[in-house]
Copies of this chain bind each other. A is one copy, B any other.
Amino acid sequence: MALTGENLIGATRSAEGLRRLRGIDPRTSTTLEPAFAEATSAEVNRAMELADAAFREFRLVPDSRRADLLEAIAGAIRSQGESIVARAASETGLPEARLRGEVGRTTGQLELFAKLVRDGSWVDARIDLGDPSRTPAAKPDVRRMLIALGPVVVFGTSNFPLAFSVAGGDTASALAAGCSVVVKGHPAHPGTSELVAACVLAATKQTNLPDGIFSLLHGSGHEVGVELVNHPLTRAVGFTGSLRGGRALFDAATKRAVPIPVFAEMGSTNPVFILPRALEMQREKLATALHASVTLGVGQFCTNPGVAILPPTEEANEFKRSLSELVRETPAGPMLYEGIGLAFEEGVKRMAAVSGVALLARADGSEQAGTTFGRSAVLTVSAGDYLDHPELGDEVFGPSTLVVDTQSRQDILRLARSLEGHLTATVWAADGEIDEYQDLVDILTDKVGRLIFNGMPTGVEVGPAMHHGGPYPATTDARFTSVGTAAILRFARPIAFQDAPETMLPPHLQDKNPHGIMRLVDGVPSREPVTRQEDAA
């Protein structure tokens, strides 16, 4: 597949504007071919109008055809896997093995949503049967299910150029719900975006679904994204990125004449609490595990542990020494693009300059090319100074962590209470030790979307029970996840049908329950058909 550098408005290629953007290989700082046309306002508008028209048709097709589409997209991506991996490697600097894994995760997600849609029970169907003989007024028959919201705008994400980009979790869950999708591609991997978009469009054609359920637009600044969020036909937004970017989209979306939901996953520092006996018994293992999690993928994960809280025990210093040693020996690695590399370097410097903070170790890397290479760092601070400087809670995106020393159990609880919302918190405890820290667990439960025991926050399983979200500022909406099958709930809303004739009901709500889905019938879960009480009148 040759790259053309055009926007894809449904199946139509379009490059009307004059502005161009290009990928850059962060490993070599080489500019890549071709140039990509940034979308104009007219192109934004055409994509949204086409998405709206396509949505009206798409939301009514049987579930099985939406499942077919998702599987066809997965198949197309798999068949183009090697060319996608090659281009993504040159645009992101991520190792090919990691990108191959991401192809697997992306196609796996699509297939998981296909299975969910084929099963059909996700619509949370509920039937309250009527009673025509009830007095003083007949009880109506009320049936409720989730339906698609409408055209969704998805922002491609830099740190998962496949799994959270053009055909990633947001797109897969929105299509699964029956929404049409307009992707604003991430400017750091435009070629990868075009290759994946071509797979989505081929699958759309192959499954004979309406043109316009998917479009890809390019843009390097904020304009294209803001125009998409402000477009009157847009009904929801999916975004993963910085707090500043996510909040700006949220503010725009909530100021609209008709406000729309923005699901922005904006990252966090994912605090790791190490309890005394755990440190005593597994000091070296813990240093190795924390180092691995901090430096995985050059630290470019939303769940990167940016802060570790040590217990007030003598092993703390030895732990810091071991961690420092590991950090010092970590090879510098290419970060996704120059902006991220610069921001990381600045973030480490800013943190090191805060009163009471000491830089314990920094990986060497002066021989490496340019500023896009990230050198791991570990810093330390006392609990008192951490609490006095709330700016130390800001995320530094990249391979660094801040180790906080405590002097007491109270320090640990105080630190926990001071936390803002996070995607995750982690607690390391020795056998039985956790039971002495129920209070810590209770505090953390109120702060995070996922609480991990004796593990590391990086590595997010994709399944029905995963919750990748959390209270603000981790996300703009703590009630929804962006990973796992529950992500589909972001793009649906309930509707109730009252006394509807059988022919007007979607199959999910029909008496005979043709797909055998799980429904709540008069409040009780059941896969059985239902029988209406006929009105005697």
Q: Give A residues with C-beta under 8 Å from B.
A: 56, 59-60, 121, 126-128, 137, 139-140, 142-144, 147, 149-150, 250-251, 254, 258-259, 261, 420-421, 434-435, 438, 441-442, 445-446, 448-455, 459, 461, 463-467, 469, 471-473, 476-479, 481, 485-486, 492-501, 503-504, 518, 520, 522-523, 525
Decide: A499 near B142, CB < 8 A? Known: A434-B504, A479-B261, A479-B494.
no
A-B contact pairs, 14 of them (CB 8 A): A126-B486, A128-B463, A128-B466, A144-B465, A441-B504, A449-B496, A455-B498, A464-B523, A467-B494, A471-B493, A479-B492, A479-B493, A479-B494, A525-B525
User: Please, how many angstroms separate the alpha-carbon atoms of A63 and B56 in the complex?
Assistant: 43
Contact B453 A501 (CB under 8 A): yes
If A139-B461, A259-B472, A485-B523 touch, does A495 touch B453 (CB 8 Å cutoff)? Answer: no
A434 CB → nearest B CB, Å = 6
Q: Is the CB of A140 within 8 A of B504?
A: no
Interface centre among A127, A254, A467, A496 (most CB of B within 10 A): A496
Q: Knowing A446-B150, A499-B454, A504-B434 touch, does A142 contact B461 (C-beta < 8 A)?
A: yes
Task: Please name all residues of chain B whose beta carbon is closer than 8 Å to the beta carbon of A446 when the two chains form the complex.
Answer: 56, 59, 150
| Among candidates B259, B438, B500, residue contacting A451 with C-beta atoms closer than 8 Å | B500
Q: Which residues of B contact A140 (CB under 8 A)?
A: 452, 455, 459, 461
Q: Which 6 A-B pairs have the closest CB atoms?
A: A126-B465, A467-B496, A254-B254, A128-B465, A128-B463, A452-B498
Kindly report which residue of chain B lies nearest to residue A57, judged by CB atoms.
B442
Contact B128 A496 (CB under 8 A): no
Min Cβ gap A251→B in Å is: 8
Minimum distance in angstroms from A248 CB to a CB of chain B: 13
The reply to whether B453 and A498 contact each other, CB–CB distance below 8 Å, is: yes
Beta-carbon contact of A465 and B259 below 8 Å: no
In the complex formed, the residue of B with least CB distance to A59 is B446
Asked whether, in the complex, the Cβ of A142 is within 8 Å of the Cβ of B254, the reply is no
| A278 CB, nearest partner CB in chain B, Å | 13
Q: Is the CB of B494 within 8 A of A481?
A: yes
**Nearest CB of B to A427, in Å:** 9
Q: Is the CB of A126 within 8 A of B493?
A: no
Q: Using Cβ atoms and an 8 Å threshold, which residues of chain B touch A150?
A: 446
Bound together, the chains give a CA A137 to CA B250 distance in angstroms of: 36
Residues of chain B contacted by A56 (CB below 8 angstroms): 442, 446
Q: Tell me which of B452, B464, B495, B522 contacts A126 (CB under 8 A).
A: B464
A495: B residues at CB distance < 8 A: 445, 448-451, 467
Q: Which residue of B lies closest to A421 (CB)?
A: B258
Complex contacts, A128 vs chain B, CB 8 Å: 461, 463-466
Q: How far does the alpha carbon of A445 sit from the alpha carbon of B495 in the complex, in Å?
A: 8
A492 / chain B contacts, CB cutoff of 8 Å = 479
